[in-house]
Structure 1
Amino acid sequence: MTRNQSLILYPGIHSRTIIKQNNELVFCCQAEQEYTIELWSNLTVQKNWIAFQFTRLQDYHLVISTQHLKPGDYEFTLRFKKENEPWSWSCWLTPIGGMTKFKHDTNQQWLLLLYKEQGNIHLWLPVAQSADAWLSPGINNTIDFNCSSDKASETHLLIASTTTDDFYRLIETALNYYTRFIKKQSDKIEYKDISMLQNLGYCTWNAFGKSINKEKLFNSLDSLQSNDIPVKYVIIDDGWQETSYERITSMEACKNKFPGGLKETVSEIKSKYPFVEFVGVWHALWGYWNGIDETFGKDYDYYSAIDNKNNKIGLIGNPKKFYNEFYSFLSDAGIDFVKVDNQGSFQDLMIKDKISVWDSYRKAMVENAEEFLQSHVVHSMALTPHILLNPILPQSHKSIFRNSDDFFPNEDESHSWHIYANAINTLWKTPALVGDWDMFQSHHSFAEYHAASRAISGGPIYITDIPNEHNTKLIYRLVGQTRHCGYNVLLSKQSPHATFDTVFGNPMEKECVLGLYNLHREKVDNEMVYGVCGFWNPGPRDLLGVVARSKGLPMTQVIAYVVSGEEKGKLVRLNLGNNDVRGTDITDKSPCVMSVRVKGFESCLVSISAIQSFGSISAACLGLIDKFNGIASISRTIFKEYYEAHLTHRSSCCAFWINTKPNQVVLDGQVLDPGRDWKWDNRTGLLHAH
């Protein structure tokens, strides 16, 4: 993980520049190392995001003509890399993989080292409560531990080791140690799940960007309604607020975009579109990208604007009062939750006691969200060491944290990197945090690529479709019909595990798939565990994904069924452990691995269902095989004289594997008619129930 401090860009990230049409826009960059540097921007006629490469003379320069551009708001960010290395992005913790030595001179926040000869893995974790601490490459391939000189006594370096089999527990163990013995806090907290996770959502960002207004919002809701897309919450993202020069000037919505104000807009949404049960809004932690306007901020002890890389950030001395009034206003307007962005930017401010000021904002936001919004917050741009190691979060339930940089719909190179970054960042999740893998568009060439990852991410699932551009069939593979005839998402209950090869195999540079797996347990205490394995091909050439024995997966005889991808429908009986399976006397020799073809820039999901036996009959429930994560619907199975399954959801196709034609099939307490309700294939053992 790295937070780069060796690049300086002009104009700076989050700055606002007003330019005249027919002029040239000049960008300059200085770097301590030699990089390939690109500006990612929508400075195009269609506002499509593309890469503009800097030219290096003495420093880095880029000139973009605005002659062909229409008046409006345009955006940019920066990415950079050394030769033969993956791209790094600004503003987010970024995973960097290397095979033999430390190739990067940027600061590293956490370090995992694999010694192949010994088969050991070591974690180096700098921790601090009110200071900065980091690692950096030293001379002769050594590692230096660095910390704020005035806070040295408050910084620690944790070093932990394990074998390759338990690598995913290494970080969890280190973080628990930090919490209990350094912070001296109890880690015995029972966290409740978040209601937002149960439902499909919609966000305005990639559909409209900052141009969102009431007309566009309602056009989207009309489109969702007419296409029967079962969305239950809406996020009104960046662009709804009243701002000037990137600073918030009012708590009310922009009067030009939402003439009746926020309260009237929300009331009309919930009245006209009854399928929308919850409405949320976006805002930045310090108000907007450049903070709070001076006139507006006087009521909250306005500071003089803080210079942050040529941006003047308007900060206040009384965020508690601001957030009390802001969230009271939002609650009165009918807002149910907030997405709080830009939370990590305080670490770039050159002010005294920046961490205490930073924490005062975070504390004010969290406490008032608890009072007025039942702590329903999506934390964005918060994946930074200080926040992760010193979370100011509610103690009652889990908190949602964005797990990576954005979904960039128009950048083909970004999609495999998005899955990879999310896979690596799941390593740092604690029991209190839920990873948000960001929105995606269902009508998109990489739609299934993203949808499959969201299905097993354990985080919220929400789309950002342009009106009337939907893949309804794809969307319905993410949700299931409940017993009350509504729909909600079929989601894993926890973050997935990245495979060993994904973490240590450097898949963004080598030809190998990205691999993740997650688990599902029946709701009754009978030890039945199911798995779902996912593979994402980051390159253009076909590759193989391999399902094999992994920590956490059922260590037994299982049925592996391919639910999505090139080999959808493939079914293999595997032996992932010993043969002592709930009284079974299975003696046949099943393979211990299964391979699946994953086409270039495509994905594949495989469900894993343990085989149960009663006498000579063996069976396994595969769940809803027309869904990405259909095993998540399995509530309870019973196997005595006949096999019985209970599901939380229904669909057009529930499936079982049975080694012999059954006399009776029972689903949700009802005996199914063999001629009408189910069909068994004696060649594969697959039974489809309708």
Structure 2
Amino acid sequence: MYINVILSPSLGKTTVTKNERGEPVQFVALLETSQDNRYTDEGWTLQLWYSAGAEWQEAEFTPSNDLSLISGFDESSDLKRRAYRLDIYHESIQPLQFTLRFKPEKNSPWIWIKEQSGIADGRLIFQKNYAISSDQFQFDSLFKGTNSNLAIKKASSDVSGTDLYVVSGSALPGTSNVALGAPLLLENFYALVKLSPSWMGPRQGASHFTVDRDAVMAGYVRSDGRHVVILGISGVDNCTTFVQSSDGKIILKTRNDGLVDEHHRAIVATGLEYQRTADAAFYQAREIIRALDIIQDNQDATSWEDNDGPAPLPAWYQTWFDGLAYCTWNGLGSELSEEKIIAALQDLSDNGINVSTLIIDDNWQSLDDNRRWVQFEANKNFPNGLAHTTSEIRKRFKNIKHIAVWHALLGYWEGISPGGAIDTNYKCTTVKWHGGHDVHVVDEPDVSRMYSDFYKFLVGAGVDSVKCDNQAAIDEFDDATVRQRLSRAYQDAFKLHSLKWFSRKVIYCMEHSPYILFRALLPHNGPRVLFRNSDDFFPEIPSSHAWHVFANALNNIFTSHLNGLPDWDMFQSTLPEYAGFHAAARCISGGPIYITDAPGQHDIALIKQMSAVTPQGHTVILRPSRVALPIDPFIAYNSNQLLKVGNSCGTIGGSSFMAVFNISGVENSELISIDDFPGMLLVAKYVIRSHRTGKIGGIYTQGQGKLIRTTLLPRDWEFYTATPVFELAQAGAEKSFYFGIFGVISAMSGAAAIAKQSTKTETKRFMISVTLKTLGTLGFYISDLASRDISNLLITISGQVIPFSTVKKSAQSDTVLEVDIETAWNELGLTSGWSNEVTVIFYIE
């Protein structure tokens, strides 16, 4: 017999609640069993076992006939579902630990959920009044055993409700450690550690702070509900500062590449929400770097923040990373040639996949036998030169708007070929790296000139963007003075000349060196760039895929504060078992989307769920407005918990997205709170739509305790959209209905296709206008659609009435009207003219 019990608040994790003392804590349980069992509904008993540090107590759930609190998008008739409720009056200020047991009838033995499913106890911590009041918070209430040589200075915070401290101390040449102290009241922590010189990734733990590698940042929640973030500052005074651990203490580990004593710095921020606490720390870090004149700003440092430049009106401004891209790396392999690239693009075109950007990855350059760069021009597999290749591509494939090429920061993986054209034309030097190995590189005086000449060559060859890889190589020189001398030379040259020649249309790769993160990417003083957010996509390693998505989601806690968009890497649309998993991750990420399909191997339906076609015929992705963030940063990998990643689109009160991934090897379930959706307004009403099933939840507002039942098998995923709805009623009318616009529901993040919308009340009807960035299937929510005759609806596109054949009620939900805008556009023979938008007007009584 199948038995699944789902509890809210969840087991296996810590939940922070703001319940005042004396207010009950509401527990909700959902029991699911197979239909073909011999037990009656009345026979089941569920009990909560809980403790606040004293003796364990039991409390019995009460069956509830009201399932309206829980929405489920899988209405499988194979399962029988029963809801239960329990209110616990918890007077103690201590965290509440709890688990669950159940039995199908009175004389049956108890089944403990931990034994049945392996799910650990849950913990509930209460945000205390003193934790909420920052006036009562001092630095010594955060840590015990802080080294007395550290200078602690309180700083003003740009984020309301947070407190900031700048921690500094003397750093001798070389590496030194100093104790920040043992975190007090630590409940759970996360850290982003250096997995390699090039990449960072997440770690989590509880009770005792310990990390196995150097961390670029760490955060934890205390048992009083307050969050703390520690961020080491790098790129200042020749110092790189990490967070480490020793016997439960947080250690600041600093590498000083200078020849004299310098000062290391770290930021400690504390607040009531993990995201806002991290925001406060990064804003302060940016101010420190700017104040110390590390970056020479040519304009106000905030002028580019969250802005790609002035957008032409009334059309939406399409940037180079808004187009669907194709990357050659996994799809075409290392034996790259002009013939292979053109054949792959022809294959894409033949299958109706019109990518906007081509990334020519590694192995186009001229190299010697030791993986060293010889000259600017492409290798013999491009017999007529790089310029011929790009010219042929642009001539044959008009959809290609941007062509990027790959190169390494030092030229190639093993540097410059001695005696080659580059070595001859620029001053080069041989230095030690990787523990005593020689590498030949362009030396400091000529780095800028080499980059200028190289990029001038690329522009002349028809290239308008670059992917610069192996950037953390600057951290791998053995000698500190070499690191100090060459790091700045290469980073400054790359930044300056990519701005000059490509307007910063660049992708940073293998760039998780703290020096690069803080020096090149933290300041918001130029156009937004793209940067790789984690280690590579490895199609041949099944175990890597869930980790890849998990690592990217957690890394976004750091990278969401940089001046660019995180690139979650390319993937293949026909990847066995995990293609949809990766696609959902890219759609929620807020970053670019690249496919790297092998010729003839495409999942067209999946690609269409990630992209749409503009009225001008360009294939674009539908990016949310922000960078995605994990809903709970303390969820560990393979911990029998679902990974929830949130994002939103539009202005305040727009649609909210949540992608959910099973990153464990077993089936997992959760009752997801509506309150977990980011960016929702307390006063607004929303409907939740499942992309996988097309089903709609009820009408919700935040703070009502509504829950979404989600059960995912291993490798499974879901993508939810919370869409605002509003009540429509004529003056004096007794009846009303709710109306909302989902956007292009044929795509996962289709709400991002909405450029603007408005509603006007006319004498006997309402006029709803929606302007879209793309074509596709437009979805409307109409609460009373089931009772309406759709032949009475009037819908126009660009002023013309839409063919009735393109309008239908959804087969998945009786409250969703589907309008096939793309088919209507083509049947009516419409053209875009100067605009890259399409306006649909809906008249409804």
- Which interval holds the TM-score relative to the shorter structure? 0.7 to 0.9
* C-alpha deviation, 1:123, in angstroms: 0.9
Is it true that 1:359 corresponds to 2:488 in the alignment?
Answer: yes
* C-alpha deviation, 1:309, in angstroms: 2.8
Q: Which residue of 2 aligns with 1:113?
A: 220
Is there any run of 5+ residues in structure 1 with no aligned partner, and where?
A: 1-85, 579-589
Q: Which residue of 1 aligns with 2:442?
A: 316
Q: Deviations over 1:311-357 (max 9, x none)?
A: 32212222011101111111111111000001112112112151341
Q: Which residue of 1 aligns with 2:740?
A: 620
Match of 1:176 among 283, 298, 304: 283
Is it true that 1:301 corresponds to 2:427 in the alignment?
Answer: yes
Q: Which residue of 1 aligns with 2:663?
A: 538
Q: Which residue of 2 aligns with 1:399?
A: 529
- Higher mean C-alpha deviation, range 396-405 or range 102-111: 102-111
Asked if the contact 2:615/2:775 (under 8 Å) is kept, the reply is no
Asked if the contact 1:574/1:592 (under 8 Å) is kept, the reply is no
Q: Per the alignment, in what secondary structure is the counterpart of residue 258 of structure 1?
A: coil
Asked if the contact 1:292/1:315 (under 8 Å) is kept, the reply is yes
Bigger radius of gyration: 2
* C-alpha deviation, 1:519, in angstroms: 0.7
Taking structure 1 as reference, are residues 394 and 332 closer, same or farther at Cα in structure 2, changes over 3 Å only? farther
Q: Which residue of 1 aligns with 2:162?
A: none
Q: Per the alignment, in what secondary structure is the counterpart of residue 415 of structure 1?
A: helix
Counting only pairs closer than 5 Å after superposition, residues 115-134 of structure 1 correspond to structure 2 as 115=222, 117-128=223-234, 129=236, 130-134=238-242
Match of 1:443 among 574, 579, 589: 574
Q: Which residue of 1 aligns with 2:604?
A: 472
Q: Which residue of 1 aligns with 2:474?
A: 346
Q: Deviations over 1:20-76 (max 9, x none)?
A: xxxxxxxxxxxxxxxxxxxxxxxxxxxxxxxxxxxxxxxxxxxxxxxxxxxxxxxxx
* C-alpha deviation, 1:441, in angstroms: 0.4
Give the Cα–Cα distance (whole angstroms) in 2 for the partners of residues 225 and 404 of structure 1: 30
Counting only pairs closer than 5 Å after superposition, residues 501-580 of structure 1 correspond to structure 2 as 503-506=633-636, 508-521=637-650, 527-545=652-670, 546-550=672-676, 551-555=678-682, 556-564=684-692, 568-577=693-702
Give the Cα–Cα distance (whole angstroms) in 1 for the partners of residues 774 and 290 of structure 2: 46
Q: Which residue of 1 aligns with 2:712?
A: 598
* C-alpha deviation, 1:169, in angstroms: 2.0
Asked if the contact 1:644/1:666 (under 8 Å) is kept, the reply is no
Is it true that 1:629 corresponds to 2:749 in the alignment?
Answer: yes
Q: Which residue of 2 aligns with 1:156?
A: 265
Give the Cα–Cα distance (whole angstroms) in 2 for the partners of residues 173 and 297 of structure 1: 46
Give the Cα–Cα distance (whole angstroms) in 2 for the partners of residues 667 and 395 of structure 1: 44
Give the Cα–Cα distance (whole angstroms) in 1 for the partners of residues 524 and 467 of structure 2: 15
Q: Per the alignment, in what secondary structure is the counterpart of residue 327 of structure 1?
A: helix
> What letter corresponds to residue 596 of structure 2 in structure 1?
T
Asked if the contact 1:197/1:460 (under 8 Å) is kept, the reply is yes
Q: Deviations over 1:433-489 (max 9, x none)?
A: 210110000111211111111112111111101111111111111112222233211
> What letter corresponds to residue 268 of structure 2 in structure 1?
I
Give the Cα–Cα distance (whole angstroms) in 1 for the partners of residues 741 and 611 of structure 2: 19
Q: Deviations over 1:604-641 (max 9, x none)?
A: 10111011112222111111212111111122333334
Q: Which residue of 1 aligns with 2:766?
A: 642
Is it true that 1:137 corresponds to 2:251 in the alignment?
Answer: no
Q: Per the alignment, in what secondary structure is the counterpart of residue 95 of structure 1?
A: strand
* C-alpha deviation, 1:96, in angstroms: 1.3
Asked if the contact 2:210/2:248 (under 8 Å) is kept, the reply is no
Give the Cα–Cα distance (whole angstroms) in 1 for the partners of residues 495 and 524 of structure 2: 7
Is it true that 1:434 corresponds to 2:558 in the alignment?
Answer: no
Taking structure 1 as reference, are residues 684 and 543 closer, same or farther at Cα in structure 2, changes over 3 Å only? farther
Match of 2:390 among 266, 279, 282: 266
> What letter corresponds to residue 366 of structure 2 in structure 1?
E
Q: Per the alignment, in what secondary structure is the counterpart of residue 159 of structure 1?
A: strand
> What letter corresponds to residue 546 of structure 2 in structure 1?
S
Q: Which residue of 2 aligns with 1:73?
A: none
Give the Cα–Cα distance (whole angstroms) in 1 for the partners of residues 265 and 195 of structure 2: 27
Q: Which residue of 2 aligns with 1:92?
A: 199
Asked if the contact 1:189/1:395 (under 8 Å) is kept, the reply is yes
* C-alpha deviation, 1:247, in angstroms: 1.1
* C-alpha deviation, 1:669, in angstroms: 6.3
Taking structure 1 as reference, are residues 331 and 145 closer, same or farther at Cα in structure 2, changes over 3 Å only? same
* C-alpha deviation, 1:413, in angstroms: 0.7
Give the Cα–Cα distance (whole angstroms) in 2 for the partners of residues 681 and 289 of structure 1: 53
* C-alpha deviation, 1:675, in angstroms: 5.4
* C-alpha deviation, 1:152, in angstroms: 5.3
Asked if the contact 2:194/2:213 (under 8 Å) is kept, the reply is no
Give the Cα–Cα distance (whole angstroms) in 1 for the partners of residues 802 and 358 of structure 2: 42
Asked if the contact 1:619/1:643 (under 8 Å) is kept, the reply is no
Give the Cα–Cα distance (whole angstroms) in 2 for the partners of residues 460 and 602 of structure 1: 22
Give the Cα–Cα distance (whole angstroms) in 2 for the partners of residues 217 and 305 of structure 1: 36
Taking structure 1 as reference, are residues 104 and 379 closer, same or farther at Cα in structure 2, changes over 3 Å only? same
* C-alpha deviation, 1:680, in angstroms: 4.2
Q: Which residue of 1 aligns with 2:137?
A: none
* C-alpha deviation, 1:266, in angstroms: 1.2
Q: Which residue of 2 aligns with 1:458?
A: 590
* C-alpha deviation, 1:427, in angstroms: 0.9
Q: Per the alignment, in what secondary structure is the counterpart of residue 109 of structure 1?
A: strand
Asked if the contact 2:413/2:470 (under 8 Å) is kept, the reply is yes
Give the Cα–Cα distance (whole angstroms) in 1 for the partners of residues 583 and 815 of structure 2: 29
Match of 1:208 among 332, 351, 360: 332
The normalised TM-score by structure 1 is 0.79
Q: Deviations over 1:215-273 (max 9, x none)?
A: 22122112111111021111111111111212101111112x11111111111111122
Taking structure 1 as reference, are residues 453 and 554 closer, same or farther at Cα in structure 2, changes over 3 Å only? farther
Q: Which residue of 1 aligns with 2:778?
A: 654
Q: Per the alignment, in what secondary structure is the counterpart of residue 474 of structure 1?
A: helix
Taking structure 1 as reference, are residues 90 and 574 closer, same or farther at Cα in structure 2, changes over 3 Å only? farther
> Greater strand share, 1 or 2?
2
Match of 2:208 among 78, 83, 101: 101
Give the Cα–Cα distance (whole angstroms) in 2 for the partners of residues 103 and 171 of structure 1: 20
Asked if the contact 2:465/2:502 (under 8 Å) is kept, the reply is yes
* C-alpha deviation, 1:189, in angstroms: 2.0
* C-alpha deviation, 1:665, in angstroms: 5.0
Give the Cα–Cα distance (whole angstroms) in 2 for the partners of residues 348 and 338 of structure 1: 23
* C-alpha deviation, 1:671, in angstroms: 8.0
> What letter corresponds to residue 265 of structure 2 in structure 1?
H
Asked if the contact 1:520/1:531 (under 8 Å) is kept, the reply is yes
Q: Deviations over 1:388-416 (max 9, x none)?
A: 11116783421111111111001111111
Give the Cα–Cα distance (whole angstroms) in 2 for the partners of residues 482 and 599 of structure 1: 35
Taking structure 1 as reference, are residues 96 and 362 closer, same or farther at Cα in structure 2, changes over 3 Å only? same
Taking structure 1 as reference, are residues 358 and 652 closer, same or farther at Cα in structure 2, changes over 3 Å only? closer
* C-alpha deviation, 1:88, in angstroms: 5.0
Taking structure 1 as reference, are residues 407 and 667 closer, same or farther at Cα in structure 2, changes over 3 Å only? farther
Give the Cα–Cα distance (whole angstroms) in 2 for the partners of residues 674 and 558 of structure 1: 30
> What letter corresponds to residue 114 of structure 1 in structure 2?
V
